[in-house]
Amino acid sequence: RVVEALQMGSSLPEAVNRLYVSMPIPETNFFSIVVSIQSQSGGNLAEALGNLSRVLRDRRKMKGKIKAMSMEAKSSAAIIGSLPVIVAGLVYLTSPDYISVLFTDPMGHMILLGSAFWMSCGILIMRKMINFDF
């Protein structure tokens, strides 16, 4: 597209800016900015594009690291969130009398509702902390 725009008589910064308009991603925006600045101020375009390439590679590495760290946090959150249910199930299997009070007594119902509410709040807070744009 850039070559076609250049053949049609557009300037290089204008052609590269059209590329960004047709593909609005940060990488093409960076490319457009670098080419525009280099065409206005002069200088070594190869060096500027080399620096841009290094920056884009570093950004990709950082995205991978962030993704890995957020997956680790999501796994930890899933384990922490499921532990109370698992422990309650194991207690019910080993000694059902301890847990049955929660299902038969009205105060037990209130405790279960409170526990479910606070677990839901904790899950929502963990989800907010883990999910972020990068």
pLDDT tens digits, 98-126: 899 999 999 999 999 999 999 999 888 88
Residue that the structure tokens 């900015």 belong to: 33
Beta strands in 5-100 (DSSP E): none
Contacts of 66 (CB under 8 A, 6+ apart): 134
- Give the total residue count for the chain: 134
- pLDDT top residue among 3 and 57: 57
> What's the mean pLDDT in 9-37?
85
Q: What predicted TM-score, i.e. pTM, was given to this entire model?
A: 0.59
pLDDT tens digit sequence for 89-102: 999 999 999 899 99
Q: Do residues 55 and 30 make contact, with C-beta atoms less than 8 angstroms apart?
A: yes
